[in-house]
Structure 1
């Protein structure tokens, strides 16, 4: 039975530790990346990206590597640690933020919460607090989010399209006055042409992105990247194939959504349902 390698003595950061172990095992075996790809039946460039920390690969690839190197379960354990590591989540999100700042156009689908670029301070504060932030850190995050909203202002603002599930607009803030302010802000953005807004009504039925919010960014070099997230994690996606797959799902959702004109009327009807808060 192969001797199990100790998981100590090297990088303590899970993603780097995983990539480091992959490089070490391959070089000790004397394989080139191309040879490794031929022996395991995957494109050799995938292994290069895994060793450089660009991607983690999938569990089936990692299991095949464990078997190839005679390290039963070691690489899979390291992979699971890397996948769940929140430090990497923050790093990926920081990279996403840098890309968002330089994007030439953006398009988005919201499954349950308004995108940060469209939030008022009150909405952002309630959403972030629900996620566990409080005190000074909460206020810092609200301020940072409001700074992002400035991207939609001015003559050089990039085009931004958002499709909102009806659930987003049927989930109000606790304070009726703050919710009215959020809806009015949406209407203002649409009226001045800063945002193209479409609503996906409940009557559309089931659709391909029913558990995933996603933002697409067109970058100055012509590439498109995506950031997909759910309530617990987000992922920056830069490879062409998965981005194209998400784009096709987005296009299918857009075909089901109300037109921009109908969507504007939908928001106005919601505003009529929100009680006015008397001035004190």
Structure 2
């Protein structure tokens, strides 16, 4: 009879499990945070935040720790699981996030902000802070949003994504002009990816069926399409076929009004020219 495995008391939540493993490995070496800083080269405050669950850190520091502890690829695997864990999102969004991660294709209309899948770190941080997020909660939400972005950046397995952005998305910039420039550059870069189709809907097209509603559609493995609509105060996952079909007809009408992908990329580049570069020092 095979020997029974011992069940540990370690957390089954990926983010907590990652932090626990970091603490365990440092404890086994008998290192202080300052000593780990000297050994690995990153600031001890970052290690402290990672071990408390305040941040996940980036892939470079996690790979460096894996190499130092001789655990590769354990820590990087735990980091990736924590980054993709839907439990890090607020409860009302978790079901949508799980469906998004499994979607075969996605298409979206955005009213006034880039979709989360196309946001830079700088944009996400300022937008979430404007919504009231602070401190540890802010950093966790930024990391969660960046984790979602991996969905579009996984090479041959990345799903097709079509995004229609109202011109308002490109007009409502950030207070940090450097961060806003990086966001526009990122949109132009993403528009060149083979799995991403970007449209801009100019102001002069007038009112339409999605004027005030951010809308995302997901085509799922079972052949269904679901929709998620959101405004400033609430979001709703829509699975009823007739409601989804009505939204799709509205979306198709908006797409017919939008600029072509080539025209849209040029539009983004023209907007980029209007943002001053940071003065050289």
Aligned runs of 1:1-280 on 2, under 5 Å? 90-153=90-153, 154-280=155-281
Rounded to whole Å, the distance in 2 between the matches of 1:194 and 1:175 is 30
In structure 1, how many angstroms separate the alpha carbons of the residues matched to 2:160 and 2:94?
Answer: 22
Structure 2: runs of 5+ lacking an equivalent: 1-88
Q: Secondary structure at the match of 1:155?
A: helix
3-state SS in 1 of match to 2:216: strand
Aligned positions, number: 192
Cα RMSD of the aligned pairs, angstroms, is 1.2
TM-score (normalised: structure 2): 0.67
Please say if residues 151 and 157 of structure 1, whose CA atoms lie closer than 8 Å, have aligned partners that are also in contact.
yes
Measured in 1, the distance between the counterparts of 2:228 and 2:102 equals 15
**CA displacement at 1:90 relative to structure 2:** 4.6
Separation in structure 2 between the aligned mates of residue 193 and residue 170 of structure 1, nearest angstrom = 26
Name the CA distance, whole Å, in 1 between partners of 2:239 and 2:175.
Answer: 37
Residues 161-191 of structure 1, C-alpha deviations (whole Å, 9 max, x = no match) = 0000000110111111111100111111111
Tell which structure's C-alpha radius of gyration is larger. 1
Shift of 1:91: 3.7
Q: CA deviation at 1:194?
A: 3.6
TM-score (norm 1): 0.67
* Runs of 5+ unmatched residues, structure 1: 1-88
* Aligned-partner SS, 1:93: helix
| Separation of aligned partners in 1, 2:150 and 2:97 | 14
- Poorly superposed stretches of 4+, deviation over 3 Å: 89-92
